[in-house]
Amino acid sequence: MKKPVDGFSKLTKEEKIDWLANHYFQDRKDAVSIIKQYWNTNAALQKLHDEFIENTITNYYLPFGIAPNFAINGHLYSIPMCLEESSVVAAASKAAKYWLKRGGFKAEVIATEKIGQVHFMYHGDKEKLVRYFNQIKPLLIEATDSITKNMRKRGGGILDIILKDKTADLDNYYQIHATFDTLDAMGANFINSCLEQFAKTFKAGANTYEEFTEEERDIQIVMSILSNYVPNCLVKAEVSCKVDELNEDQNISPQAFAEKFVRAIDIAKAEPHRAVTHNKGVMNGIDAVVLATGNDFRAIEAGVHAYAAKNGTYSSLTHATIDNGIFKFWIEVPLALGTIGGLTNLHPLVKLALEMLGKPSAKELMQIVAVAGLAQNFAAIRSLITTGIQKGHMKMHLMNILNQLGATDEEKSIVVELFHNKTVTHSEVIKEFNNLRAKSL
């Protein structure tokens, strides 16, 4: 086994790379050159990125693509998307155009409540704890005054704090459950700072609460942290049109398409294995915009999947109906997003992404992101129930295969043309590429 390293974070960037190259790579020169190849020549920009995290040695590129033509509530957006998976941006763009001709997307924010909890253990009489909580509650709020001052000025802040008895789930376990409105900020730091202050004030107050016995005074704060499960920070996006207007595909009638589409959604509602893949397709759209706009995609993922399982079984995030000849397709997702604070003020590409979206409020961004998820799901289901997914996927994958083979631009365009009306398989691409190379020898 290799020896552990001490004080790695104290090394300079060059020293870190040296250490890594010496310990983990046979061709150390090659490793160093790959690492440095991704450094930005603009030293200030590189320093900015270095300082986002610890122990940075280089940058990791993800494509930043654009899906244009999204009509949302009567505004036309070009949506920035960051992800590595080929065909996602193409699918989003296709879905955007499809719905542009059919009235566009409608979206509305249902609620914007964020949640945080102080988890604590209390051994004693519950009634006394309730009385103590009611007495200390105004003090808990007051103690956070300096933290919440600016947020309150802008119209947000703490909405409420309640005591929750969780002893049915775990012996002696209680919570201070707090709700917040953090306006255009995602609000993680704000919420966590408030919670830690609640915990301090709550614990200190218990020490002198006259009704408590010695044991009851000994409240044990376990942790204070926001929850990424935000079922009341919810946005809805939808599309609808007459069934007759639905499909341009000659191989399936609009009515049959609509019925098959609804069936596909019903399957994802009924069957968790399918629901996970179905929702993964939704997240292709959601995550890509969340990343491009500098938001925390892990928080969004965790919250969205918890919401998908809110009724006890993991199920579809999207819904579809046919009613009186009208096809309706919609999504409801919890999205705790921010358009100020965090990376949004720091990362030049995030700033650019937000400017491109018209400097949206957090609520507007929630709508845009939900639409991206719905569009992605529409594109996936449309392909799955008609041509199958591989046709589009492999077309996009063709470029990856050609890049792996080291094809020139000219060779790429010849091979792409060859596969215009032909199924793309890895072996067929290699065969055609080799034929082409052989001919030019």
Catalog residues that contact ligand MEV under the rule CB under 6 A.
85, 277-278, 280-281, 284, 380, 384, 389
Q: Given 269, 393, 397, 432, which residue is catalytic?
A: 393
Specify the residue, 188 or 275, whose C-beta has the smaller distance to ligand MEV: 275
Other residues' Cβ atoms within 10 Å of the Cβ of residue 260: 15
Specify the residue, 277 or 408, whose C-beta has the smaller distance to ligand MEV: 277
Q: What is the DSSP letter of 105?
A: B
Specify the residue, 117 or 318, whose C-beta has the smaller distance to ligand MEV: 318
CB 233 within 8 A of CB 293: no
Specify the residue, 34 or 270, whose C-beta has the smaller distance to ligand MEV: 270
Task: Indicate if 319 belongs to the active site.
Answer: no
Minimum separation from the CB atom of position 28 to ligand MEV (A) = 37
Q: Given 296, 319, 347, 364, which residue is catalytic?
A: 296
Q: Given 85, 108, 216, 428, which residue is catalytic?
A: 85
Minimum separation from the CB atom of position 277 to ligand MEV (A) = 4
The per-residue DSSP string of 313-347 comes to S---SEEEEEETTEEEEEEEEE----SBSGGGGT-
- Calpha distance 376→88 (Å, rounded): 7
Minimum separation from the CB atom of position 17 to ligand MEV (A) = 34
Task: Indicate if 393 belongs to the active site.
Answer: yes
Write the CA distances from 177 to 114, 166, 322, 345, integer angstroms: 11, 11, 40, 30
Task: Indicate if 84 belongs to the active site.
Answer: no
Please report how the helices 88-100 and 390-404 are oriented relative to each other, as an axis angle in degrees rounded to 10: 140
Q: Collect all residues with Cβ–Cβ distance below 8 Å to 404 and sequence separation of at least 6.
A: none
Minimum separation from the CB atom of position 72 to ligand MEV (A) = 22
Minimum separation from the CB atom of position 87 to ligand MEV (A) = 8
Minimum separation from the CB atom of position 288 to ligand MEV (A) = 11
CB 276 within 8 A of CB 304: no
Which amino acid, one-letter code, is at 168? A
Q: Given 280, 328, 363, 395, which residue is catalytic?
A: 280
CB 57 within 8 A of CB 13: yes
Encoding tokens for residue 327?
A: 């096809």
Other residues' Cβ atoms within 10 Å of the Cβ of residue 99: 23
Specify the residue, 49 or 280, whose C-beta has the smaller distance to ligand MEV: 280
Minimum separation from the CB atom of position 100 to ligand MEV (A) = 22
Q: Which residue number is nearest to ligand MEV in terms of Cβ? A: 281
Specify the residue, 151 or 265, whose C-beta has the smaller distance to ligand MEV: 265
Encoding tokens for residue 141?
A: 């709020």
Task: Indicate if 166 belongs to the active site.
Answer: no
Minimum separation from the CB atom of position 374 to ligand MEV (A) = 12
Burial 388-401 (b: 16+ CB within 10 A, else e): ebeebbbbbbbeeb
Burial 350-380 (b: 16+ CB within 10 A, else e): bbebbebbeebebbbbbbbbbbbbbbbbbbb
Specify the residue, 85 or 216, whose C-beta has the smaller distance to ligand MEV: 85
Collapsing DSSP states into helix, strand and coil, what is residue 85? coil
Specify the residue, 69 or 284, whose C-beta has the smaller distance to ligand MEV: 284
Q: Which residues are bridge partners to 157 per DSSP?
A: 181
Q: Which residues are bridge partners to 237 per DSSP?
A: 107, 331
Q: List the one residue out of 140, 150, 267 whose CA is nearest residue 204.
A: 140
The catalytic residue positions are 85, 280, 296, 393
